Amino acid sequence: MRRYQIGVIGSASGSIGSDVRLAARELGRAIAKNNLVLFSGACPGLPFEATMGAKEVGGKTVGVSPAINFKEHVEDYKYPPDVFDSLVFTGSGYKGRNVTLVRSCDAVISVQGMIGTLNELTIAYDEKKIIGLVLGTGGASDLFLDVLRKMGKSNENVFSSDDPNILVEKIIEALEILQ
């Protein structure tokens, strides 16, 4: 099996319950246990939790930063510095980073999330990426299927589950079919 690159997107700040943090961490573990590479926006919050979950079980992680260099990443963005195996600096701010992150991945999985996550989800949809939604975590993850339905859009490449392990299995199956 090819080592797929899976982007974890979701809330970087705001109100995040401990149960949602645990779901994100379990998602990271599931990605790593399946020998997938976890990509994120190199930010705090739920993507950070997923990164830590992957690292707990020896997974490979890549952070895609909006900053132009390490100093800006840490000092201006206040992003975590030393949790990634590789850190890519886009120098393109949040929206530019979102495009680079999504295009670098074979699939993206959303946990909670607000407007920035919704932006990443719509980019992934437009780029015809496989999309996973961890249901029951709130925010964009729980709303995205309704948004597609209300806009008359297909949800054929969108998978969901309240169990991160099952969701990762669904994503792998979908990616295998596309190969």
Read off the pLDDT of each residue in 11-31 and give the average, rounded to a whole number: 97
CB neighbour burial string for 110-140, b if at least 16 within 10 angstroms, e if fewer: bbbbeebbbbbbbbbbeeebbbbbbbebbbb
Mean pLDDT estimate for the chain: 97
Range of the domain at 71: 5-178
How many domains does one find in the chain? 1
pLDDT tens-digit map of 86-130: 999 999 999 999 999 999 999 999 999 999 999 999 999 999 999
CATH number at residue 10: 3.40.50.450
Q: What is the pLDDT of residue 178?
A: 86
pLDDT tens-digit map of 119-168: 999 999 999 999 999 999 999 999 999 999 999 999 999 999 999 999 99
Residue 70 structure tokens: 């390490």
Strand, helix or coil at 11? coil
Least Cα distance to 46 among 10, 88, 89 occurs for 10
